[in-house]
Amino acid sequence: MIAIRPAGRGDIPALIAIDPLSLTDVDRRQSIARWAAAGQCFVAVRAEKLVGYVALTRAFFHQPFVELLIVAHDDRRSGVGLALLNHCMSETATEAKLWSSTNASNAAMRALLAKAGFVQSGVVENLDDGDPELIFLLKR
């Protein structure tokens, strides 16, 4: 069973440990700490082990936005990502729209978003050279 709960300050080392980019990127580590402090970060726990997290912010035109979703490498494709997205959907159930984005090269995230009912809604070029950022929308 996967339990979702708000991230606490004590979770930050575990969040960094499962997020490969945060191991080398100080900005990512600072973002994780900021999201946790603001109540915008939720963790997935299975068998008392932190297996993923999601940042649910209002960074996209002040609308609910799944800014980042990370699943521990060994726990991918086991329902953790969908559980985190479902949590975001329930947190924003009274709102008409929920947004997210991912690089075009991230086939796993694109498939996860499609499985959850998101549809592609736009493209931003030049954030990452040669890998456009695809914008997704869950409209209710």
- 103-134 pLDDT, tens per residue? 999 999 999 999 999 999 999 999 999 999 99
Return the percentage of the chain with pLDDT > 70, whole number.
100
**How far is 60 from 69, CA to CA, in rounded Å?**
15
The number of folded domains in the chain is 1
CATH of the domain at 45: 3.40.630.30
Which residue range(s) make up the domain with 103? 2-139
pLDDT tens digit sequence for 71-112: 999 999 999 999 999 999 999 999 999 999 999 999 999 999
CA distances from residue 100 to 13, 28, 45, 96, 138 in whole angstroms, order as listed: 25, 18, 22, 14, 8
pLDDT of residue 119: 98
